[in-house]
A and B are shown apart, each in its own frame.
Chain A
Amino acid sequence: MNLERFVLRAATPKDLDAYERMAHASAVGITTLPANRSALAERLEQSAQAFASGDDASGEEVYVFVLEDLEADRLVGTSAITASAGFADRFFSYRNEMLVHASTALEASQRIHTLHLCHDLSGHTLLSAFYIEPGYEHTLAPQLMSRARLLFIAEFAQRFSDRIAAESPGLADDSGRCPFWDAVGRRFFEMDYPAAERLAAGRNKAFIAELMPQAPIYVSLLPEEAQWAIGQLHPVAELPFSILIDEGFDTETYVDIFDGGPTVDARVAMLATVAGSRRCMWGLGTAVTPTMHLVANTRRADFRAVLALAERCDGSDGSDGKELGEGGAIALRLDAAAAARLRCTSGDMLRAAPLRLSPLSVAPQSVAPLSVAPPSVAPLSVAPLRVVQEKP
C-alpha cells in the first residue's frame, strides 16, 4: 500500500462520525472508547482543547490522533496520549515481585511470586486507545499510528512526564470470561469481567481498585490458568504491543489489576523514536540515500505526521557536500508531496526520526521492504472493524 496515502493528525470534533464507528468496534477491555456518542463527542472536544491550548499543561489533557487514508478519504485508525495517568487520583497496577523464602534447617528454598497493588505509574504519560482497521494491520500505518505519538511527546516534552506507560488488554474470550479476573477480582466483586468494565467505564477506575485486595497476592495460590494469564496479551493486541516493545518499553514489571494484561513502561528519552528524533528544517530536494522516516510538523494545534522517504543532512561528517539548513539547523530532504501532507512550507521546522523496524514489530504477514511498491492489502471496505488497542 502506498505510504503517501496516510497522514496521522490531531483529531477534531468533526471526526465524530468516524470516531464513533471505530468505538463501536470495541472489544471487552476498552474503557477509553465508550460506544456512546455524547461521551465520544466530549472526548474529542477535550482533545481539541488540549491541542489548542497554549496554557501550561495541567496533566488532565487527552490528545486524540486519527489516521487518515487520503486515497480512500476516510479515517481508518486512532490512537491517543493521556498526559498524566490517574490524573487527580491514583493509577493502579500490580507490580511483579519475586521473593526467595529459605530455611537452612529444612534444606528448602522457594521462589515466591507476588503481585503488589501499587501506584507507581501515577503521573506517567500514558499511550492509550490504539485502534486500526484490520485491513491496514499489515501495512506500515500502525507504525505511524503508534510511533508518531512519540514525536508529539518529544516536541512538546514540557506537557508530558519523562516517564511513560501503556496498558494492553489481557486474556479474555468473547463471552467476557477472563481467567485473571475470575481468579482475583471476581472474589471481591461477584460479577463477571464485562460487568466490572462497564462499572469502571462510568467511574474513576481508582474507585474500583480500592475494592480490590490491598495485600500482595501470592500467585502460587491462584488457579494455573490465572497464573498463566499474568502478563499475557489478548491476541488482538499483539501488533501494537510489539511496536511498543520495539520502541524499548519494558514489559517485566507491571500488569493490569483487572485482566492481568501487561502494562509496559519506559523513560521517554530512552524510546527509539524519541532518542532518534531531531528537529530539522524542511529542505526540498532529491535525497541521495533516502530512508524511511517518521516525520511530523512541529505545530501543536495542527499536528500532522507521515511516513516518508527522507534524508537528514546534519553535516556531521561534512564530507559529502550536504548543506545545512539556514541558521545551522539540520536539514531534512523530503519531497514536496510529503511536505504537503504535513502542510508545511519552505523553512518550516519538522521533527523526524528514522523508522527502523525489527522483524518482531511487524504484523505476521509482513509488509514488503519499505520500497517502491508494497503489495496491496485485502479489500478495505468489507473487512469488519476490529480493535487493536492499548487500553486506557
Chain B
Amino acid sequence: MNSHRFDVRAETIDAQLTRLVAHGAHRQPCASALLRPRIGLAMPRYWYHVGQVVHAAPALNLFRAQRTLLLGNDLTGMAELLDFQDLGAGDGDLRPAWTRIARAALALVAADPMRWGGGVLVELQGERDATGASPFWQGLTRHFYRGDAQDTAARVGPDWRSHLAALLPRQPVYVSFLPEAAQRAIGAHGPAARTLHAALRDAGLQWRHHVTIDDGAVVLEWSDGAATEPSPP
C-alpha cells in the first residue's frame, strides 16, 4: 500500500477543528478529515467498554466467559478524527489517502500531546440490517430510549449522544442478554465503513475494546506510549 504519493496539509478551521486534506500526485485535494483536540471536556463523551467476566466452578466442570458492556468516559481527553470525506478528485482509491491522513494526525498529536491529547480515536459507523436499522440499537438502546437515532440527531444536534447516555444503563450489561444480531454488532462496522476501517488499521489504529453507545460500532484507537498511563485529562 503506497500512501506516500499523498501529501497531507493541515488547515485550522477554528480553535476546535483542524482540517486535514490529502492531495494527490497532481496536487488535487482528494480526501479529508477533521481533527478535534481533547474531546469530552466541555460536553462529556461516552463509550461502552467491552469487558469480560468469567464464571467458573471447577467442581461443576463449569467455565463460562461472558462479555459485558460498561458505560463510561474512558477516552475523554483524546483527539478525535472524524468526518472522513472523499473529495472525488483522487484516483478512486481512498484507502491510501485516508491512511495518510490518519498518519498525519498521529504525527501531529505525538508532536504536541499537551495540545491535542494523549491519543487519537475514530468512531466508525456500525452494522446495519437489511432495513438500514442498527441491530445494536434495536437490541439494547431502544429499551432505554424510545426515540429514533436520526430524528434525535437532527433535533438535538451533534452532542445528542452525550444526552442519550443519561438514559442508558449505568451498570454492566451482560452481552448474553442481548439478541444474537445485537451481540454480533458489538465492535463491528457496517459495509459503509469498510474502506475507512482498513485505512485506519493500515495507519496503526487498533480496537481497544471500546464501542459507540448508539450502534455498538468499533472505536479505533492509537495512543502515544507515554500517554497510555492513566493521567488527568
A and B interact physically: yes
Residues of A within 8 A of B (CB): 101-103, 105-106, 108-110, 112, 114, 183, 187-190, 199, 207, 210-218, 220-222
Asked whether, in the complex, the Cβ of A106 is within 8 Å of the Cβ of B144, the reply is no
21 pairs of residues in contact across A and B, judged by CB atoms under 8 Å: A101-B167, A102-B166, A105-B159, A106-B152, A108-B146, A108-B147, A108-B167, A110-B146, A112-B144, A112-B169, A187-B177, A211-B64, A212-B55, A213-B174, A215-B171, A215-B173, A216-B171, A220-B143, A221-B140, A221-B177, A222-B177
For A108, the chain B residues whose CB sits under 8 A away are 145-147, 167
Asked whether, in the complex, the Cβ of A190 is within 8 Å of the Cβ of B152, the reply is no
Asked whether, in the complex, the Cβ of A105 is within 8 Å of the Cβ of B172, the reply is no
For B147, the chain A residues whose CB sits under 8 A away are 106, 108
Asked whether, in the complex, the Cβ of A101 is within 8 Å of the Cβ of B62, the reply is no
A204 CA / B53 CA spacing, docked (Å) = 23
For residues 164 through 189 of chain B, which have their beta carbon under 8 Å from a beta carbon of chain A? 164, 166-169, 171-174, 176-178
A221 CA / B174 CA spacing, docked (Å) = 10
For A109, the chain B residues whose CB sits under 8 A away are 167
Residues of B within 8 A of A (CB): 53, 55, 57, 60, 62, 64, 66, 68, 140, 143-147, 152, 156, 159-160, 163-164, 166-169, 171-174, 176-178
Asked whether, in the complex, the Cβ of A187 is within 8 Å of the Cβ of B174, the reply is yes
CB distance from A201 to the nearest CB of B (A): 14
Asked whether, in the complex, the Cβ of B156 is within 8 Å of the Cβ of A218, the reply is no
Instruction: Look across to chain B and name the residue whose beta carbon is closest to the beta carbon of A114.
Output: B171
The secondary structure that dominates the A interface is mixed
A221 CA / B68 CA spacing, docked (Å) = 14
A102 CA / B166 CA spacing, docked (Å) = 6
Asked whether, in the complex, the Cβ of B171 is within 8 Å of the Cβ of A101, the reply is no
CB distance from A112 to the nearest CB of B (A): 7
- Selected from B66, B68, B144, B163, the residue in CB contact (under 8 A) with A220 is B144
- Selected from A106, A199, A211, A215, the residue in CB contact (under 8 A) with B174 is A215
- Selected from A103, A112, A114, A207, the residue in CB contact (under 8 A) with B163 is A103
For A188, the chain B residues whose CB sits under 8 A away are 55, 64, 66
User: A108-B146, A217-B174, A218-B177 given. 10 additional CB < 8 A pairs?
Assistant: A105-B163, A106-B145, A110-B145, A188-B64, A211-B60, A211-B62, A215-B172, A216-B171, A218-B169, A221-B143
